[in-house]
């Protein structure tokens, strides 16, 4: 049910006018869609339960997402439920659809809460939607007992209450404590330095680049000298097999050189053995690369 061009108020009014389905009609419509892909039956089923989707979406308005977007996500969850519903299990469609609607809206809220992904595991999702409520209740109960909880004890009790790791509680508390800020925001008026200037440069540093270039040149020289220790046929096989883009197959080299595929493999192995002996004799430094 597309909602483009509609306001949440318009959609709500339309949903309230929809028919109420009895259990028998609901089963007939669900079977018509499942067995015959009857789109009219699907439309009737979804329209009848759109009020349920809107009601579920409204529960998430406090997270700041536009109501029309929440309804859109709820309607998508409703359609997924209709597509997967099995009317022969004896369960009402509304009971089955609630789970899909709630899951769809929750995922949307979490995706749009922050540019940084807020949570993906089941414990993180549980914390996202329940942390503040559980914290408030535990704090209230502590005051009523005359035993106010310090932040550490409160986090520990929240973790036990929701059966989640303490580290997840600490992480989610930090995520929910503030909104996203631009990296170009100034840290302080006095310094005038932007937050982006405090980020570590993940690029290759100058010293690392020089060292890598030196090592690469050293290896190229060692490899060239090792290749000179091979006879022309062995050198050709190694070059065609390992020093070109895709590398040729044993079979194609065998056809070209008039040898069997197994013989080419043996020559290649012998060439590598020679190269390794040559390289290992170069210096103690090379043993670091061969380890």
Q: Which tokens go with 119? A: 């949570």
Q: Does some domain include residue 1?
A: no
Last residue of a domain, one of 113, 142, 165: 113
Q: Does some domain include residue 184?
A: no
Contact 95, 139 (CB under 8 A): no
Which letter, b or e, does each residue of 207-232 get, where b requires 16 or more Cβ atoms within 10 Å of its Cβ? eeeeeeeeeeeeeeebeeebbeebee
Residue 88: CATH number of its domain: 1.20.120.1810
Residues 107 and 20 in one domain: yes
Residues 170 and 223 in one domain: no
pLDDT exceeds 90 at position 203: no
Residues 168 and 213 in one domain: no
Contact 35, 87 (CB under 8 A): no
Contact 114, 175 (CB under 8 A): yes
Angle at 13 between CA 11 and CA 17, to 5 degrees: 115
Residues 163 and 211 in one domain: no
Q: Does some domain include residue 93?
A: yes
Q: Does some domain include residue 186?
A: no
Q: Does some domain include residue 190?
A: no
Q: Does some domain include residue 194?
A: no
Question: Residues in the chain, how many?
Answer: 291
For residue 178, the model assigns a pLDDT of 57
Last residue of a domain, one of 57, 81, 113: 113
How many domains is the chain partitioned into structurally? 3
- Per-residue pLDDT band at 182 (split at 50, 70, 90): low
Identify the residue with better confidence: 77 or 205.
77
Residues 156 and 234 in one domain: no
For residue 77, the model assigns a pLDDT of 94
Residues 104 and 148 in one domain: no
pLDDT exceeds 50 at position 1: no
Alpha carbon distance 273, 202 (integer Å):
39
pLDDT exceeds 60 at position 81: yes
Contact 15, 27 (CB under 8 A): no
Residues 219 and 281 in one domain: yes
pTM of the model: 0.48
Per-residue model confidence as pLDDT tens digits over 157-178: 999 998 989 888 888 887 776 5
Per-residue model confidence as pLDDT tens digits over 253-284: 889 989 998 998 999 999 888 888 877 766 55
Identify the residue with better confidence: 121 or 148.
148
- Per-residue pLDDT band at 183 (split at 50, 70, 90): low
Residues 219 and 166 in one domain: no
For residue 87, the model assigns a pLDDT of 93
Alpha carbon distance 61, 12 (integer Å):
15
Identify the residue with better confidence: 199 or 167.
167
75-84, 130-139, 276-285: the lowest-pLDDT one:
276-285
For residue 55, the model assigns a pLDDT of 92
DSSP 22: P
Query: What backbone phi and psi angles, to 5 degrees, belong to 183?
Result: -70, -15
Q: Which tokens go with 176? A: 């929910």
Last residue of a domain, one of 85, 113, 141: 113
Per-residue model confidence as pLDDT tens digits over 12-22: 778 888 899 99
For residue 189, the model assigns a pLDDT of 52
pLDDT exceeds 90 at position 228: no
pLDDT exceeds 50 at position 6: no
Domain that holds residue 269: 206-290
For residue 118, the model assigns a pLDDT of 52
Residues 151 and 134 in one domain: yes
Residues 133 and 160 in one domain: yes
Q: Which tokens go with 238? A: 């190694």
pLDDT exceeds 60 at position 70: yes
Average pLDDT, the chain: 81
For residue 198, the model assigns a pLDDT of 55
- Per-residue pLDDT band at 52 (split at 50, 70, 90): very high
What is the average pLDDT across 65-75? Answer: 91
Residues 213 and 247 in one domain: yes
pLDDT exceeds 70 at position 113: no
DSSP for 138-170, please give it.
HHHHHHHTT-PPPHHHHHHHHHHHHT--HHHHH
Q: How far is CA 268 from the centre of its chain?
A: 44
pLDDT exceeds 70 at position 290: no
Residues 144 and 210 in one domain: no
Identify the residue with better confidence: 220 or 286.
220
Q: Does some domain include residue 50?
A: yes
Q: Does some domain include residue 198?
A: no
């Amino acid at each position: 049910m597309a909602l483009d061009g509609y306001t949440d108020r318009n959609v709500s009014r339309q949903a309230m006018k929809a028919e109420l389905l009895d259990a028998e009609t609901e089963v007939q419509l669900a079977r018509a869609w499942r067995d015959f892909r009857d789109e009219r039956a699907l439309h009737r089923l979804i329209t009848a339960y759109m009020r349920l989707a809107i009601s579920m979406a409204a529960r998430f308005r406090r997270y700041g997402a536009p109501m029309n977007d929440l309804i859109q996500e709820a309607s998508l969850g409703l359609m997924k439920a209709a597509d997967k519903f099995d009317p022969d299990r004896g369960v009402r469609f509304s009971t089955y659809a609630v789970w899909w609607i709630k899951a769809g809206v929750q995922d949307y809220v979490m995706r749009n809460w922050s540019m940084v992904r807020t949570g993906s595991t089941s414990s993180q999702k549980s914390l996202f939607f329940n942390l503040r409520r559980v914290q408030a209740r535990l704090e209230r109960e502590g005051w009523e007992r005359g035993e106010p909880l310090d932040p550490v004890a409160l986090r520990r009790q929240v973790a036990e209450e929701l059966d989640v790791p303490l580290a997840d509680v600490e992480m989610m508390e930090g995520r929910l404590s503030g909104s996203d800020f631009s990296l170009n925001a100034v840290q302080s008026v006095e310094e005038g330095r932007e937050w982006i200037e405090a980020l570590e440069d993940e690029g290759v540093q100058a010293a690392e680049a020089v060292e890598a270039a030196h090592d690469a040149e050293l290896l190229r020289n060692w490899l060239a000298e090792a290749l000179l220790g091979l006879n022309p046929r062995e050198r050709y096989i190694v070059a065609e097999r390992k020093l070109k883009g895709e590398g040729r197959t044993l079979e194609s080299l065998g056809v070209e050189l008039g040898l069997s595929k197994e013989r080419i493999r043996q020559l290649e192995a012998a060439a590598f053995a020679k190269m390794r002996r040559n390289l290992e004799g170069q210096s103690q430094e090379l043993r670091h690369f061969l380890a």
